[in-house]
Amino acid sequence: QRRLNLGDLTTKKNAGEPIVMVTAYDYPSAQIVEAAGVDIVLVGDSAAMTVLGYDSTVPVTVDEMLTLTKAVRRGLGRPLLVGDLPFGSYEISDEQAVITAQRFVKEAGCDLVKIERGGTSVDRARALVAAGIPVVGHVGLTPQTAVALGGYRAQGRTVETALALRDDALALQDAGCAMLVIEAVPREVTELIMPLMRIPVIGIGAGPATDGQVLVFHDLLGIYDGPAARFVKRYANVREASVAGVAEYAREVREREYPAPEHEYAMPDAEAQRLSQ
């Protein structure tokens, strides 16, 4: 199967066919989402929390993200690959944004890169597009600046903030973004924005009106314990299955059930004889 391209996404949008996006952070998760037939894979900076154990997305570095993104690239064939530019790697200037984004394209093989927020990020988006790098915008709850937004909470719940969100979405589209992610907004905000958007819009906690949905791999598979955002739906309990598997291994080792004869290597009889002499 050939690699998808941006035209395929536009075709899906125009046909009203929902676009499926999910995160992945390493080689096996890339192979899993590929086998499941998703359209777009995002190596989200949510990796900071899901796989690196930081308590927000802020500390993760470009080098850490590149290591994970390269691993995903090696496991991926058909879906489009989006790299997530981490906090502090694109805000300073257009030049900084282009230098960082080029690494995600050249070193990690990303098809697109994602940056958060409106405002100065609109200029960054324009600069990246001018440099030939397709860009995904991200508005609503933008975790890199969650502290400034008052925490991990829904955005656009007043008329003023809803209109500001709409303006950010439009500005990012006008700047040449190829796609937009809207996170954690009431469905009314999404419904206000959607008629204005020619580019594919992917929602996460933004209701059903978007062109597609994205969820975090670890959230939808239930890989960790603890509370999840309102928009998360668990489709599996991988943590429970994993703990049970490792606990069973530990029990068998302690009770000397593992390894069994079928896990042993054989030495030719003649050699075993000679060794025991």
104 membership: H or E segment, kind and range: helix 94-106
Piece in contact with ligand KIV (CB under 6 A), picked from 43-51, 122-130, 169-177, 185-193: 43-51
Specify whether the CB–CB gap between 83 and 69 falls below 8 A. Answer: yes
Residue 219: name its binding partner from Na ion, ligand KIV, none (Cβ under 5 to 8 Å by kind).
none
Is 183 a residue of the active site? yes
Question: Measured from the CB of residue 49, what is the shortest distance to ligand KIV in angstroms?
Answer: 9
Piece in contact with ligand KIV (CB under 6 A), picked from 42-50, 120-128, 145-153, 236-244: 42-50
| Residue nearest to ligand KIV as judged by C-beta position | 44
Confirm whether residue 46 is marked as ligand binding: yes
Question: Measured from the CB of residue 196, what is the shortest distance to ligand KIV in angstroms?
Answer: 20
Given candidates 26, 45, 111, 168, which one binds ligand KIV under the rule CB under 6 A?
A: 45
Confirm whether residue 45 is marked as ligand binding: yes
Select from 208, 235, 204, 207 the least CA-distant residue to 219. 235
Q: Which of 183, 252, 255, 264 is labelled catalytic?
A: 183
Confirm whether residue 116 is marked as ligand binding: yes
Binding site for Na ion (CB under 5 A): 44-45, 84
Specify whether the CB–CB gap between 29 and 72 falls below 8 A. Answer: yes
**Toward Na ion, which CB reaches closer, 45 or 111?**
45
Q: Does 23 bind ligand KIV (CB under 6 A)?
A: yes
**Could you identify the residue written with the tokens 């040449």?**
176
**Could you identify the residue written with the tokens 């066919």?**
17
Q: Could you give the count of Cα atoms lying within 13 Å of 88 in the half-sphere of its Cβ?
A: 8
What sign does the dihedral 65-71-75-76 (CA atoms) show?
A: positive
Given candidates 125, 216, 221, 223, which one binds ligand KIV under the rule CB under 6 A?
A: 216
Q: What are phi and psi of 42, to 5 degrees?
A: -110, 125
Q: Which amino acid, residue 104?
A: F
Q: Does 204 bind ligand KIV (CB under 6 A)?
A: yes
SS3 of residue 190 by DSSP: helix
Cβ-proximal residues to 178 (8 Å cutoff; 6+ apart), any chain: 6, 112, 134, 135, 136, 199, 200
Q: Does 181 bind ligand KIV (CB under 6 A)?
A: yes
What letter would DSSP give residue 173?
H
Residue numbers annotated as active site: 183
Annotated binding site for Mg(2+): 45, 84, 116
User: Residue numbers of the site for ligand KIV (CB under 6 A)?
Assistant: 23, 42, 44-46, 84, 181, 183, 204, 214, 216
